[in-house]
Amino acid sequence: MVTPAAPVVGDVRAPSLLRGTPVVPGLAYGPVLPVAQEVSAEAVAAYGNGGFADADSAMAAFDRAAEAVAEGFVTKASGATGAATEVLTASAGLTRDKGLRQGVATRVAGGEGLVAAVRGAVAQFVDLFTAMGGLMAERATDLLDIERRLVARLVGEPEPGVARPDEPSVLVAGDLAPADTAGLDPQVILALVTEKGGATSHTAIIARQLGIPCVVGVAGALDLAAGTPVLVDGSAGTVDGTVAASDARAQVEADRAARALADTWIGPAETTDGVRVKLLANVADGESARTASSSPVEGVGLFRTELCFLDRREEPTVDEQAAIYAEVLDAFGGDGRYVVVRTLDAGSDKPIAFATLTDEENPALGVRGLRLSKGNPGLLERQLDGIAAAARSTGAETWVMAPMVATVTEAREFAEQVRARGLKAGVMVEVPSAALLADRLLEVVDFLSIGTNDLTQYTMAADRLASDLAHLTDPWQPAVLQLIATTAAAGRRAGKSVGVCGEAAADPLLAVALIGMGITSLSMASAAVRAVGAQLSSVSMETCERAARAALEAADPMAGRDAVRGVVAAD
C-alpha cells in the first residue's frame, strides 16, 4: 500500500510516487503547501513560566486565551455548513470544558508554568480519549489542535493553521483538525494529503463535503518539500511527484471534463444494456434528508437514527421520536421512493448516553447495535413504535433494518417485531457471520444491506478509525469483496434486495464491481450520487461482471483498483 520513502540523491530528494488511502475522488496538480502546525519553540522559551504573581492571575490568562480560541471556533462554525459546523462547535465546547480548566488549574496550583500546565492537562485527556477508542480517539486530534491554539495565544503568536496560499496548492499535513479544514477554499486548495487519518477522519469528512480530492494515510507525505509540484489522484490514492507537468495538466483537464459530465447526470442509474440499479442516499436527520431529496436518488438506503441522539442524555419519548423520523420520511414520501430506517446503532464509535453500556473492555466487539435490545428490550420496542407512527403519519414507504446482526435468530426475532407493526424488515450485513449465513438470513427477512465499513473492520480485525491500519480497512480487500459477493449471490437466489450502504457504495469504480456481483442498490452521501450514477450508466452489465471477477481475483486493493480500471476502460 505504501511505497518506501523517496531515495535521497545528494541532499535533494528525488521525485517520488507516494500511496495512501483514496478518500475523495478527483485529480489535482499543484505545488505542495505544508501546513504549519506547531507554535515556535523560541516563543515558548521566551514566555517561560509567564511571570504571574499567583495562580489566580495565571488562570485569568488561561481563561482569556481559552475564550479567544473558543470564539475563533464559533466564528468559523458560523461561516461553515453541515459536518464542519458540528465539529467546530464541538471544538469550541471542548476548549471551554470545565474538566480541562480544572486539569490546568490543578497543575498551576502545584507549581507548573502555565504552558506546561496546559500541555500536561491536554496530554492527560488525549490519553483518556485514546484509551476509549473509536470516535473518542478521533477527538484526540481536535484536543491537540486546541492545545496548540491555546499555547499560541498565551505566548503571543498567531494561531497555527492554513495560510491562504499565493497560488492554488496541494495542502500537505500530518493530520488536519476541523479548524484547519473547515474554512478551506476549494478555489485555492486543490487537494488534501495527510500522513495520518483514515477514511472516517475529520479530514476525510470535510474534504468529502467540500468535494476536494483527498488522500489520507500517505506515509512520507511530510517529506515533500514546499513547492514541489505533485499530481494527486483521489481515486487511486496516489501523490505523484514524478509526472511531467504537461502530462499532469492533460490528465487533470480530462478528469475535469469527466466530472462536469457527471454533474449533469440526472438518473435513474441503468447500465448500457438496460439493467436498473437503485441509487439511494445516506441521511442523518430531516435537514440532510431534504438536501438529499433533490439529488437523483430513489430513496434513502440508510437513515442513521443514532445520529439524531448523540447529544441526548435521556431517551426521547415515542412521540418525540416519531416527529424526528417523520421529518426524514416526509422528504421522501411518494414517487415510488422509500426510506430504510436503521434502528439505533449505539455503542462503540457512536456512544449514546441513554443506551450505550459504559466500561466495556472492547466496545467494538461489545454490546452495540441490535445487541443492546437483549438487556433493554423496551428501547427497541419504543423505537419501532416511533418509526411505525412516523410511517403512518407520513404515508411514506418505510423499511426497517437492524445493525450488528450476527445470527439468524437475532434476524428472525427482529423481523417479527418489525412486521408486527406492518413494516418491511431487513438486517445489515456488517459481521462476517451474517455474510456467511446470507441464504438463511434471507429466509427470515425481506432484504439485506451490507455495511462495508464495519464488515471491513470485522473481516480484517482492524479498527476502522485507526489510521495506521488504513491499508487493511479498505473495502477493496479481496476477503471483504468475497463476503460481499457471497451475500449478493444469496440475494439473487432468493430474489430479494441486497444493497450496500457503507462508504464502498460511493466509490464509482468499486460500484461497477459491486453491481457485477449482484448488488441491487447502492446508498451513499448524496454528494457522491452523480459520479456513481454516471459511471454505472457508461458500462454494460457484462463489464460489471468482468470487473467483479477482476476485483475478487486481485492480490490486494491496489491491484484490484488497477484491474477494474482496466476493465472499465476497455468497455
Looking at the annotation, which residues are catalytic?
202, 501
Q: Which does 95 bind (CB under 5 to 8 A by kind): Mg ion, ligand PEP, none?
A: none
Contact segment (CB under 6 A) with ligand PEP among 151-159, 328-336, 413-421, 447-455 equals 447-455
Residue (of 85, 21, 23, 536) closest to 284 by Cα position? 85
Contact segment (CB under 6 A) with ligand PEP among 263-271, 308-316, 354-362, 448-456 equals 448-456
Q: Which is nearer to ligand PEP, 232 or 513 (CB)?
A: 513
Report yes or no: 348 and 363 within 8 Å, Cβ to Cβ.
yes
CA within 13 Å, CB half, 26: 24
Return d(Cα 556, Cα 38) in angstroms, integer. Answer: 37
Contact segment (CB under 5 A) with Mg ion among 357-365, 380-388, 447-455, 534-542 equals 447-455
Q: Which is nearer to ligand PEP, 219 or 480 (CB)?
A: 480
Q: Which is nearer to ligand PEP, 183 or 451 (CB)?
A: 451
Q: Which does 304 bind (CB under 5 to 8 A by kind): ligand PEP, Mg ion, none?
A: ligand PEP
Helix (H) or strand (E) holding 209: helix 202-210
Exposed / middle / buried, residue 522 (Cβ in 10 Å: 0-12, 13-18, 19+): buried
Dihedral sign, Cα of residue 429, residue 431, residue 436, residue 442: negative
Q: Give the single-character DSSP code of 215.
A: E
Q: Which is nearer to Mg ion, 410 or 430 (CB)?
A: 430
Q: Which does 501 bind (CB under 5 to 8 A by kind): ligand PEP, Mg ion, none?
A: ligand PEP
CA separation, residue 467 to residues 198, 200, 201, 215, 515 (Å):
5, 9, 8, 12, 29
Query: By CB under 5 A, is residue 22 in contact with Mg ion?
Result: no
The grid cell for 317 is 419519548
Q: Which is nearer to ligand PEP, 190 or 445 (CB)?
A: 445
Query: By CB under 6 A, is residue 453 in contact with ligand PEP?
Result: yes
- CB atoms < 10 A from the CB of 531, how many? 24
Number of residues this chain uses to bind Mg ion (CB under 5 A):
3
Residue (of 223, 236, 216) closest to 4 by Cα position? 223
Q: How near is the Cβ of 404 to Mg ion at its closest, in Å?
A: 7
Considering only residues 294 through 333, tell me which ones interact with ligand PEP, judged by CB under 6 A. Answer: 302, 304
Return d(Cα 99, Cα 565) in angstroms, integer. Answer: 51
Query: By CB under 5 A, is residue 454 in contact with Mg ion?
Result: yes
Report yes or no: 8 and 14 within 8 Å, Cβ to Cβ.
yes
Dihedral sign, Cα of residue 267, residue 273, residue 277, residue 279: negative
Q: How near is the Cβ of 349 to ligand PEP at its closest, in Å?
A: 7
Query: By CB under 6 A, is residue 138 in contact with ligand PEP?
Result: no
Query: By CB under 6 A, is residue 430 in contact with ligand PEP?
Result: yes
Q: How near is the Cβ of 449 to ligand PEP at its closest, in Å?
A: 8
Residue (of 182, 113, 109) closest to 145 by Cα position? 182
Q: How near is the Cβ of 470 to Mg ion at its closest, in Å?
A: 17
Q: How near is the Cβ of 507 to ligand PEP at its closest, in Å?
A: 13
Cβ neighbours for 62, distance < 8 A, ≥ 6 positions apart: 101, 104, 105, 108, 114, 117, 118, 150, 154
Contact segment (CB under 6 A) with ligand PEP among 243-251, 313-321, 445-453, 543-551 equals 445-453
Query: By CB under 6 A, is residue 501 in contact with ligand PEP?
Result: yes
Quickly list DSSP for 428-466.
Answer: EE-SHHHHHTHHHHHHH-SEEEE-HHHHHHHHHT--TT-
Which residue among 234, 451, 499, 560 contacts Mg ion (CB under 5 A)? 451
Q: Which is nearer to ligand PEP, 183 or 502 (CB)?
A: 502
CA separation, residue 359 to residues 99, 363, 367, 466 (Å):
20, 8, 11, 21
Return d(Cα 197, Cα 342) in angstroms, integer. Answer: 27
Contact segment (CB under 6 A) with ligand PEP among 18-26, 66-74, 156-164, 446-454 equals 446-454
Q: Which is nearer to Mg ion, 177 or 525 (CB)?
A: 525
Q: Which is nearer to ligand PEP, 248 or 488 (CB)?
A: 488
Q: Which is nearer to Mg ion, 239 or 402 (CB)?
A: 402
Q: How near is the Cβ of 491 to ligand PEP at its closest, in Å?
A: 17
Tell me the β-bridge partners of 33. 171
Which residue among 345, 413, 463, 474 contacts ligand PEP (CB under 6 A)? 345
Residue closest to Mg ion (Cβ) = 454
Q: Which does 452 bind (CB under 5 to 8 A by kind): ligand PEP, Mg ion, none?
A: ligand PEP
Q: Which does 546 bind (CB under 5 to 8 A by kind): ligand PEP, Mg ion, none?
A: none
Return d(Cα 229, Cα 133) in angstroms, integer. Answer: 37
CA separation, residue 233 to residues 83, 192, 291, 346 (Å):
24, 10, 28, 35
Report yes or no: 36 and 163 within 8 Å, Cβ to Cβ.
yes
Query: By CB under 6 A, is residue 454 in contact with ligand PEP?
Result: yes
Considering only residues 413 through 442, tell me which ones interact with Mg ion, judged by CB under 5 A. Answer: 430
Query: By CB under 6 A, is residue 546 in contact with ligand PEP?
Result: no
Contact segment (CB under 6 A) with ligand PEP among 35-43, 120-128, 451-459, 546-554 equals 451-459
Residue (of 199, 148, 195) closest to 171 by Cα position? 195
Q: How near is the Cβ of 313 to ligand PEP at its closest, in Å?
A: 22
Q: Which is nearer to Mg ion, 33 or 355 (CB)?
A: 355
Q: Which does 370 bind (CB under 5 to 8 A by kind): ligand PEP, Mg ion, none?
A: none
Which residue among 198, 386, 491, 502 contacts ligand PEP (CB under 6 A)? 502
Return d(Cα 515, Cα 504) in angstroms, integer. Answer: 12
**Cell 468529502 -> residue:** 208
Contact segment (CB under 5 A) with Mg ion among 271-279, 438-446, 450-458, 467-475 equals 450-458
* H helices, E strands: number in the chain: 22, 19
Report yes or no: 1 and 117 within 8 Å, Cβ to Cβ.
no
For binding to ligand PEP (CB under 6 A), which residues are involved?
302, 304, 345, 430, 451-454, 501-502
For binding to Mg ion (CB under 5 A), which residues are involved?
430, 451, 454
